[in-house]
Amino acid sequence: MATLSVMKLSIATIATGFITLGTFSAAQAGFINFDIDANGNAVNGLLFIDSTALTDLYAPLGVNFSGPGQLSGGSIADQSGNFGVNALSGSNFLAFNRDAILSNGGIPTDPETVTFTDLISDFSIFASGGREPNTFQLQAFDINNSLLGTDTITTAVAEWGQLSFSSSLGNISKVVLTGIGEDNAFVYDNLSFTPASQSVPEPASLIGILGLGAFGVTSVCKRKQQQPAVKV
């Protein structure tokens, strides 16, 4: 009976490993395309003069946006606003123009800071200079505001490029997006991120869990076979 109990425990360990593997594989990254809000409602892209800077629209997803001033920062605009490039999905994107004015007197300018309520393990976003080529920079920071790393890309006219950064430690607290080229008007679209709590673990760790359970079953069976027969 003891052998049977141990075997059941070992098999349960293996089953738990498979369940855990399935759970981690199903982890989904967060995604913001600026066409819908955090509740799935459509967002109307506006002209700068009719809009304000994006701030906490996506706070329910654990994501907040801020510009260099209280009223300044990128705003959600429609692709029909003469940016020279179409949105990647839908018709909206996060737009900037350092020479424009927002409805409340702010300026749709960068750097744009994207802050996360919970730590994330990776981040990506697409950028375009629209009518002009431009160079973009992403900086990733931890919760202590220490720089973790950067990514830089240069885009051609009417083309999109992807900025991205990953941390194996899952310690990204915020990212800062800056147009470091000469173009004063540019856009971002299709932001994605993965919460650190949903990161897929190292495959070796899962294999170890399964191997440990299998080893337990094998060891118990061998010991059972090696025990001398008891005469009655």
The percent of residues above 90 in pLDDT, for the chain, comes to 72
Query: What is the reported pTM?
Result: 0.76
Q: What is the pLDDT of residue 24?
A: 35
Which token pair is 32? 């913001």
Contact present, 47 and 102 (Cβ < 8 Å)? no
Beta bridge partners of 60: none
Question: Cα torsion for 86, 88, 89, 94, to the nearest 10°?
Answer: -80
Contact present, 177 and 163 (Cβ < 8 Å)? yes
Span 161-183, mean pLDDT? 98
Q: pLDDT tens, 186-226?
A: 999 999 999 998 755 545 444 444 454 444 444 444 444 55
Span 23-51, mean pLDDT? 85
**H-assigned helices in the chain:** 2-25, 203-226
How would residue 36 be classed by pLDDT, with cut points 50, 70 and 90? very high
When mean pLDDT is compared across 41-45, 84-88, 125-129, 227-231, the lowest value belongs to: 227-231
Q: Is the model's pLDDT at 182 over the cut of 60?
A: yes
Q: What is the pLDDT of residue 32?
A: 98
Q: What is the pLDDT of residue 29?
A: 80
10: left (phi over 0), alpha (psi -120 to 50) or beta: alpha
Q: Is the model's pLDDT at 61 over the cut of 60?
A: yes
Q: What is the pLDDT of residue 28?
A: 56
Cα–Cα distances in Å, from 84 out to 168, 177, 215? 37, 20, 62
Q: What is the pLDDT of residue 47?
A: 97
* CA angle, 19 then 22 then 25, to 5°: 150
Cα–Cα distances in Å, from 108 out to 121, 133, 186, 207, 208? 28, 19, 10, 50, 51
